[in-house]
């Protein structure tokens, strides 16, 4: 690994939606950091919701003994959230491509209340 690789190395892992789903089956927590209106339109089943704007004050709500997988719409906000969480813990991953990729990989999305959802 060269100097620039070391300099720009992410402090968290990057996983695709299939890897994230497998990690969830092993007990990882999926954290959705999108805004409330996006969450209500559609989110992954069993995901936890903490908007990025609230993460610094609510990160303590996340379990310390489980991997945290972070997702947003496209992967940009979740990358910021993953970097923030990785400053406090080592078991963090960002889902590459966000909820858009989650849907493209054929994974389910539910709306608030449990009915069929869509990615807003």
Count the Cβ atoms, other than its own, within 10 Å of residue 58: 12
User: Which tokens hold the place of 104?
Assistant: 């493209």
Q: Pick the catalytic residue from 20, 23, 72, 99.
A: 72
Q: Which helix (H) or strand (E) holds 37?
A: helix 36-41
Enumerate the H helices of 16-105 as residue ranges: 17-25, 36-41, 55-58, 76-86, 98-104
Phi, psi angles (nearest 5°) of residue 38 = -70, -45
Residue 98 annotated as catalytic: no
- So which residues are the catalytic ones? 72
């Amino acid at each position: 690994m060269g100097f620039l690789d070391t300099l720009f190395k992410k402090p968290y892992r990057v996983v695709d939606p299939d890897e994230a789903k497998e990690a969830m089956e092993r007990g990882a927590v999926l954290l959705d950091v999108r805004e409330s209106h996006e969450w209500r339109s559609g989110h992954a089943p069993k995901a936890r919701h903490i908007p990025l704007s609230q993460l610094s004050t609510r990160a303590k709500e996340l379990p310390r003994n489980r991997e945290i997988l972070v997702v947003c719409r496209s992967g940009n906000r979740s990358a910021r959230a993953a970097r923030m969480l990785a400053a406090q813990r080592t078991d963090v991953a960002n889902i590459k491509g966000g909820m858009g990729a989650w849907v493209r990989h054929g994974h389910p999305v539910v709306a608030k209340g449990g009915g069929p959802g869509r990615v807003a």
